[in-house]
Amino acid sequence: MKNFDMRTAATALMVAGLLLLPLYSQLSGNVFALTLFTRIVILALAAASLNLIMGYGGMMSFGHAAYLGIGGYAVGILAQEGLGSGFIQFPVALAASALYALVIGALSLRTRGVYFIMITLAFAQMAYYVASSLARYGGDDGLTIYKRSDFGGLINLSNRTQFYYLCLAGLLGVVFLIWRIVNSRFGVVVQGLRSNEQRMQAIGFPANRYKLVCFVISGTLCGLAGALLANNTDFISPAVMYWTRSGDLMVMVILGGMGTLFGPVVGAVVYLVLEELLSQVTEYWALIMGPLLLLIVLFGRGGIMGLLGRFSRG
Amino acid sequence: MLLVIEQFLNGLQFGLLLFLLAAGLTLVFGIMDFVNLAHGSLYMMGAYFAATFVAWTGNFLLGAILALGATLLLGIVLEFVALRHLYGRDHLDHVLATFGLILFFNEAVRLIWGPAGLALPLPAWLTVPVAILPGIYYPAYRLAIIVVALMVALLLYVGVMRTRVGMLIRAGASNREMIGALGINIKLLYTMVFGLGAALAGLAGLMQAPILTVQIGMGENILILAFVIIVIGGIGSIRGAFLAAIFVGIIDTMGRAFLPNLLRQVLSSTAASTAAPALSSMLIYLLMAIVLVLRPEGLFPANRR
Amino acid sequence: MVDPLLRVKDLVRRFGGITATDRVSLDVAQGELHAIIGPNGAGKTTLISQLTGHLTPHSGSIFLAGKDITHLAAWRRSALGLARSFQITSLLTDFTAADNVALAAQAHDGHSFSFWRNARKESGLRRAAQAALERVGLDHRADVLVSRLSHGEQRELELAVALATRPQLLLLDEPMAGLGITESARMVKLLQELRKEVTIVLVEHDMDAVFALADRISVLVYGRVIASDVPVAIRQNEEVKRAYLGDQHVVTAHG
């Protein structure tokens, strides 16, 4: 009997590719690939954090991009005010994201289903508008970050390769963390809540408490992505939180395969590479992307990981 | 005082526009259990069609009617070709599919009309100020919006309260067997309801076009407000949507108009000018948050638990 | 005079114009097996849902071991020893049988805010799950996905899940629903054993089972309790016969 699992093979291949990318970039002189994939890795981290609440927790949040903004603005605002140390900026980014998640989560989890989707969307848009109104920090035009987060002698974020490996380490670390979490007591409760909330309440679990904690963890991890993103672009603007960006994240998670560990990573890579390739072909790539999404929803059950899984059984 | 009345009426008018949009959304959700994010795109198309047809025909009313018809047709075609295959699926699937449609529509508009946006000038007879009270004048067009929207709201009310279809909406029915048992052709009903929703969105879009905006992405901003209204107003309730929309429209408009001044009384000038815009934009969401805390099912939910 | 384990007083629940629960009162003594019967639409599941906390009554009260639980959240009632099985099988379908039961045990084994250790490797939980599965005779199917279990096995699993929470009161909503003759007989035998350990409130249509098991029976018709007595007395009650047992031959036929 073949023990060959297409999913594991594909995942291993992808991780290997990501690890070796800077080498390829150096050898071929293609710097653009490195910057592109840094962005991809960061957004994959964000998608992985969203997968925790969506794929495992069954909470369809349409406001996840807010954390990219919060994490990013934490870095940007502190940099503007003269606090350039990464040791201050990153913890603040995480704390701010956690706080926002706590408040928004507590409010949003009073609803279910499509209303939950609408409300998370509304709150994220609120964050967008608030950021747009911060004249001191650039408002609509955004805020330039003149110096990347300073980590002393530990690591130099201005060095593209070092920064890439930092982001990749962050991604792999987060995936590992999520792996431990979903199999822990907490994780099985959250998954149970996704499966049948009424049943879980009947056996004695206070549903909202567990969902809220899951929500906060997810938001905090995405805040990390936000802080990295701001460093990557040396710039932060409200556009990062615009609701279509939340949609992008959702698409990555679903495309890759909800509720699988590496699904969001695969989804992010495929989605962003596709976007990049299509935009080089035509200026109106969204004309193709839009209907493509529609088709994926209509026919692609379980995303890419699901597809690979079906090939394994065959 | 004059300013207060004017802003109040502006708020009322904005609220009524929001109601038209929210009503369309609730209708489709109530009957087909379908979440349509592209509803905002239909709103946008209504505006673009209006600007185009008015320019072609040179006649405002004719152009508006043509635009309404075009949006209705667009909605029907959309339902027939793509969206009807999604009924019965997970709401998440609806969200994603219609999200894809938004991208498509925004891009298509950019392709056809260019990125800059359009203008829709008003004919002279609609720009005259009308005396609503002795000494108090209000622009004729804005008054027209209020009147038209109220008439449509009335028609909807009669439709919901007096017809069989309306009964289904009130019962929150999205049950095919039940609908079939009432002797109604389901597919036709669904298409018609979707068309009606599209028409409402298009009407809202074309009516606001001369005074607000005709540009890419306009649908998304206002769609979120429609969501907020449905949440505040109450799940499955058109009456709730009406009241919430008026409420939200007035609070948002008057908040933006008067909050900066109010804040300046309380805070220092610099603090006020930083806080005011942020607070004004947050106002509606704060309202929604308060409602969620006190009454998670909305203020006028259709079913009391 | 010992307090009843479960006391329901004048419970009322309306749905629009319909009064689904019309001033229902009943007492269940400790160690008793109390059956609730009634024609379809009598409001049995509505009553159970109010007892478990999934539905809020409009008036009236519910006491568990003397404590007022009328407005207590469902999960808190579980902590107080109230367990339920569902009329329409309500299990975690993408988990295995053992996972389902272990989760129930986990709910009563301290908090679950533990993020690192693998829950499936916790021997205490796994042993408790195994024990509950053995009790209902499902231990050989422990690692099967719920979606792959037969209907009868799923009904038994529902029971195992409820047992794993170590309840003092078990509310069973039509545990025999959809079971064949052999499976029903097995379930009856199981309940005969369980009644020695835990107080049971049984909602059922299967009259043979009800009369074989019950210490006392309450009859629910249109949301009202029209009789609440020992089985012999219920059998002879004219009102009950008229309202319900007149169709006995239809009701007791196995599907």
Separation of alpha carbons C23 and C45, rounded Å: 15
**Contacts of residue A198 in chain C, CB cutoff 8 Å?**
54, 90
Confidence band (pLDDT; 50, 70, 90) for C103?
very high
Helix (H) or strand (E) holding C190: helix C181-194
Q: Is residue A186 part of a domain?
A: yes
Pairing state between β A235-236 and A143-144: antiparallel
* b/e A253-270 (16+ beta carbons within 10 angstroms → b): bbbbbbbbbbbbbbbbbb
Q: Of chain A residues 58-77, which have a CB less than 8 A from chain B?
A: 60, 62
**Contacts of residue A292 in chain B, CB cutoff 8 Å?**
100
Select from A51, A61, A129, A241 the residue whose CB has the most chain B CBs within 10 Å, as the one to mutate to test that interface. A129
Confidence band (pLDDT; 50, 70, 90) for C36?
very high
CB distance C90–A196 less than 8 Å?
Answer: yes
Pairing state between β C224-229 and C216-221: antiparallel
Angle, alpha carbons B170-B172-B174 (nearest 5°)? 130
CB distance B96–A113 less than 8 Å?
Answer: no
* Helix and strand numbers, DSSP H then E, in chain B: 11, 2
Interface of B with A (CB under 8 A): 29, 35, 82, 85-86, 91-93, 95-97, 99-108, 110-111, 220-221, 224, 227-228, 230-231, 235, 274, 277-278, 280-282, 285, 288-289, 292-293, 296
Does residue C173 belong to the interface with chain A, where contact is any CB pair within 8 Å? no
Nearest CA in chain B to A291: B100
Spatial contact of C136 and C157, defined as CB atoms under 8 Å apart: yes
Confidence band (pLDDT; 50, 70, 90) for A172?
very high
The architecture (CATH level 2) of B2-294 comes to Orthogonal Bundle (1.10)
| Average of per-residue pLDDT across A282-293 | 77
Q: Is residue A248 part of a domain?
A: no
Q: Is the pLDDT of residue A294 over 80?
A: no
pLDDT at B134 (0 to 100): 72
CB distance A188–C86 less than 8 Å?
Answer: no
Residue extents of the structural domains in chain B:
2-294
CB distance A284–B100 less than 8 Å?
Answer: no
Q: Is the pLDDT of residue C106 over 70?
A: yes
pLDDT at A308 (0 to 100): 80
**Contacts of residue C117 in chain A, CB cutoff 8 Å?**
184-185
Cα C183 to chain centroid distance, Å, stands at 18
Q: Is residue A285 part of a domain?
A: yes
Spatial contact of A50 and A218, defined as CB atoms under 8 Å apart: yes
Does residue A133 belong to the interface with chain B, where contact is any CB pair within 8 Å? yes
Structure tokens at A165: 């490996």
Nearest CA in chain A to B93: A297
Of residues B95, B224, B293, nearest to A107 (C-beta): B293
Confidence band (pLDDT; 50, 70, 90) for B304?
very low
Least confident of B17-31, B80-94, B266-280, C97-111: B266-280
pLDDT at C251 (0 to 100): 47
Spatial contact of B17 and B149, defined as CB atoms under 8 Å apart: yes
Where in chain C does DSSP place strands (E)?
Answer: 6-15, 18-28, 33-37, 59-64, 67-68, 82-85, 169-173, 199-203, 216-221, 224-229
Task: Give residue-wise pLDDT tens across range C203-230.
Answer: 998 888 899 999 999 998 888 898 888 9
- B40 versus A293: the higher-pLDDT residue is B40
Helix (H) or strand (E) holding A285: helix A285-299
Of residues C54, C92, C114, nearest to A192 (C-beta): C92
pLDDT at C250 (0 to 100): 46
Task: Give residue-wise pLDDT tens across range B148-203.
Answer: 999 998 988 888 777 776 776 666 555 656 666 766 677 888 888 899 999 999 99
State how far the alpha carbon of B67 is from the alpha carbons of B90, B189, C193, in Å.
Answer: 33, 23, 74
Q: Is the pLDDT of residue A102 over 80?
A: yes
Separation of alpha carbons A125 and A114, rounded Å: 17
Spatial contact of A53 and A258, defined as CB atoms under 8 Å apart: no
Select from A133, A194, A246 the residue whose CB has the most chain B CBs within 10 Å, as the one to mutate to test that interface. A133
pLDDT at A129 (0 to 100): 86
- β-bridge mates for residue C34, sequence order: C201, C216
pLDDT at A280 (0 to 100): 84
Q: Is residue A147 part of a domain?
A: yes
Domains and CATH numbers, chain C: 1-81+167-255 (3.40.50.300), 96-166 (no CATH)
Residue C252 has what DSSP assignment? T
Which amino acid is present at B38? A
CB distance A188–C93 less than 8 Å?
Answer: no
Q: Is the pLDDT of residue A257 over 50?
A: yes
Of residues B35, B101, B274, nearest to A294 (C-beta): B101
Cα A24 to chain centroid distance, Å, stands at 25
pLDDT at B162 (0 to 100): 79
Separation of alpha carbons C82 and C95, rounded Å: 23
Distance from CA of A293 to the nearest CA of B (A): 5
Q: Is residue A17 part of a domain?
A: yes
CB distance A117–B282 less than 8 Å?
Answer: no
The average confidence (pLDDT) of chain C is: 88
Spatial contact of C139 and C133, defined as CB atoms under 8 Å apart: yes
Does residue C73 belong to the interface with chain A, where contact is any CB pair within 8 Å? yes
CB distance C108–A204 less than 8 Å?
Answer: yes
Q: How many domains does chain A contain in total?
A: 1
Task: Give residue-wise pLDDT tens across range A231-254.
Answer: 999 999 999 999 889 989 998 998
| Average of per-residue pLDDT across A124-133 | 88
**Contacts of residue C103 in chain A, CB cutoff 8 Å?**
188-189, 192, 200, 203
CB distance A60–B96 less than 8 Å?
Answer: no
Q: Of the ranges A24-33, A208-217, B255-264, B280-289, which is most confident? A: A208-217
Nearest CA in chain A to C159: A203
Nearest CA in chain A to C77: A204
Which amino acid is present at B196? L
- How much of chain B, in percent, has pLDDT values that exceed 70? 90
CA atoms in the 13 A half-sphere facing the CB of C218: 21
Residues 6+ apart with CB under 8 A from B27: B169, B193, B196, B197, B200, B238
Q: Is the pLDDT of residue C54 over 50?
A: yes
Does residue A298 belong to the interface with chain B, where contact is any CB pair within 8 Å? yes
Q: Is the pLDDT of residue A1 over 90?
A: no
**Contacts of residue A204 in chain C, CB cutoff 8 Å?**
75, 78-79, 104, 107-108, 165
Spatial contact of A188 and C119, defined as CB atoms under 8 Å apart: yes
Structure tokens at A312: 């394994």
- β-bridge mates for residue C221, sequence order: C224
Tell me which chains share at least 3 CB pairs under 8 Å with chain B. Answer: A
Separation of alpha carbons B194 and B86, rounded Å: 13
Give me the phi and psi of C137, to 5 degrees please.
85, 30
- β-bridge mates for residue C118, sequence order: A184
Structure tokens at C58: 């409009």
**Contacts of residue A130 in chain B, CB cutoff 8 Å?**
278, 281-282
Separation of alpha carbons A276 and C233, rounded Å: 80
Does residue A231 belong to the interface with chain B, where contact is any CB pair within 8 Å? no
Q: Is the pLDDT of residue A3 over 60?
A: no
Q: Of C215, C223, C173, nearest to C25 (Cα)?
A: C223
Angle, alpha carbons B192-B195-B201 (nearest 5°)? 145
Q: Is the pLDDT of residue A43 over 80?
A: yes
Containing domain of residue A157, as a range? 6-242+255-313
pLDDT at C1 (0 to 100): 55
**Contacts of residue B91 in chain A, CB cutoff 8 Å?**
60, 113-114, 117
| Average of per-residue pLDDT across B58-62 | 86
Q: List the CATH number of the domain containing A297.
A: 1.10.3470
CB distance B107–A136 less than 8 Å?
Answer: no
Q: Is the pLDDT of residue A300 over 90?
A: no
Separation of alpha carbons A3 and A130, rounded Å: 53
Q: Is the pLDDT of residue B235 over 70?
A: no
pLDDT at C149 (0 to 100): 92
